[in-house]
Structure 1
Amino acid sequence: MEKKKLGILGGMGSEATVLFYKKIIDNTSVNNDREHLDILIYNHASIPDRTECILCGKQDYLWDIIAKDIRGMEQLGCEYFAIPCNTCHYFADRLQELTNGKFINMIEETARYASERGRKKVGVMATDGTVKGGMYKKALEKYGIEVVYPSEERQKDVMSLIYEQIKRGEKGDRHQFMNVVHELRGQGCDAVILACTELSVLNVNYSLNPDFYIDAMNVVAKACIERCGGVYCE
């Protein structure tokens, strides 16, 4: 299969973007460095906060910035596109249209993965913007999977982990994280989706059990490798 150049719109946050790139490198089967995918990364760290824009009605303002970035990468030869930010997938339909179907949708890929693993009821840990956008609920319910979000109090813990800890370079409070997980388990969830790339960073920090936690970043990294003509390896 001919390899395709991948464009990654990153910076949301920067540590998560580094991790995403590393996952693609570590999970691509190669015999030498020339067999890796050609990848262009735009680490747009100064882009406005996605959750804030969604909650405050500034969606079109944010979309204009994202669209300009994608077009710029397209002009530099990118043929497929990925954004390691779940909240940005609020614009997934527009991104598909803009890229003529070449946007690799993390949320759709993760929902399919959960279905293939036989999950019936999953908890979703995500930003307020992702929760309000309803993207995971819509994607998962297409596969007959029930979606559970944390209570208002536990959602505050999720936001604290993301914004007050991991985005500031901290490891993330495991006890605070597990408080959310215990609530979701108590509601019968047979898996928890780490639906924020900062939580993917936390996953690496604590080596969470892959039999229970579904890391959306892992799923989309695999999809990027395969879609762009690479060979995926664990």
Structure 2
Amino acid sequence: MAERKKLAILGGMGPEATEMFYKKIIESTRVSNDREHLDILIYNHASMPDRTEYILGGKEDELWNIIEGDIEMLKKMGGEYLAIPCNTCHYFQDKIDDSMHGHFINMIKVTAERIVNKGYKKAGIIATDGTVKADMYGKTLRDLGVEVVYPSEERQKDVMDIIYNQVKQGEKGDKKQFLSVVKELRDKGCDVIVLACTELSVLYQNHDFNGDFYVDAMDELTKACIDKCGGEYYNE
């Protein structure tokens, strides 16, 4: 077993997604007793300003100052690796990685690696307006030879409705509305759908989706965190 490292999680964006991420790590770590689980620090920063609103509103410097302060706090508490279960926060991925001296477990990169390793050629990205307009997944995947498709303006409104007016408000999320977005992307030739918002990871679990057609960024981050921090990944 690899050397154990303390994982820091900057969460709260939203809290339900952070809870699910922590639960996934626990359930996916092969252990024979409590002591074999990872040591984890979690800062559930629920009052963090909305990432999409600040990025699209030209307040990214103000947002980064908050995130940077949180990272420094987690480092002082002994965090050796950092994970952020919020795709839109990865707008600052290079700065975050610099702050962590290369010990940032990047959700976008590990998800992109999974897509390439599975041999997918055309990925449909379902995410917040902030993630979409910053083209975070597009930049990474196109560099790896994968074509990227985003929803139309009308279907993107559905995505934002599901994320902000449903899941973030404690609802399960409208499966029919979500599948209308998926259908549009499939009709455009996508061979994989990327759940590139952790609220969509919550919806995905709420409705018990399955199959190889979806890649859930939270699942990929879970695997990477367990591996990087010296645990053994377990999946039934």
What count of residue pairs does the alignment treat as equivalent?
234
Provide the rounded CA distance (Å) in 1 between the counterparts of 2:166 and 2:129: 16
Structure 2 equivalent of residue 103 of structure 1? 104
Structure 1 equivalent of residue 58 of structure 2? 57
Q: Does 1:91 align with 2:92?
A: yes
Q: TM-score w.r.t. structure 1 length?
A: 0.99
Q: Give, in angstroms, the shift of residue 209 of structure 1.
A: 2.0
- What SS does the corresponding residue of 1:144 show, helix, strand or coil? coil
1:1-234 aligned at under 5 Å gives the runs 1-234=2-235
Which letter does structure 2 place at the counterpart of 1:204?
A: Q
Q: RMSD over aligned Cα, in angstroms?
A: 0.5
Which letter does structure 2 place at the counterpart of 1:49?
A: D
> How far does the alpha carbon of each residue in 1:136-174 deviate from its partner, in whole angstroms, 9 at most, with x for none?
001111210000000000000000000000000000001
Q: Give, in angstroms, the shift of residue 24 of structure 1.
A: 0.4
Runs of 4+ in 1 over 3 A off after TM superposition: none
Q: 5+ residue gaps in structure 2?
A: none
Which letter does structure 1 place at the counterpart of 2:183?
A: H
Provide the rounded CA distance (Å) in 1 between the counterparts of 2:97 and 2:172: 34
Identity of aligned residues (%): 63
Provide the rounded CA distance (Å) in 2 between the counterparts of 1:32 and 1:141: 43
Q: Give, in angstroms, the shift of residue 54 of structure 1.
A: 0.6
- What SS does the corresponding residue of 1:167 show, helix, strand or coil? helix
Q: TM-score w.r.t. structure 2 length?
A: 0.98
Provide the rounded CA distance (Å) in 2 between the counterparts of 1:233 and 1:170: 29
> How far does the alpha carbon of each residue in 1:193-221 deviate from its partner, in whole angstroms, 9 at most, with x for none?
00000000001011112310100000010
Which letter does structure 2 place at the counterpart of 1:101?
A: G
- What SS does the corresponding residue of 1:41 show, helix, strand or coil? strand
- What SS does the corresponding residue of 2:173 show, helix, strand or coil? coil
Provide the rounded CA distance (Å) in 1 between the counterparts of 2:177 and 2:56: 24
- What SS does the corresponding residue of 2:46 show, helix, strand or coil? coil
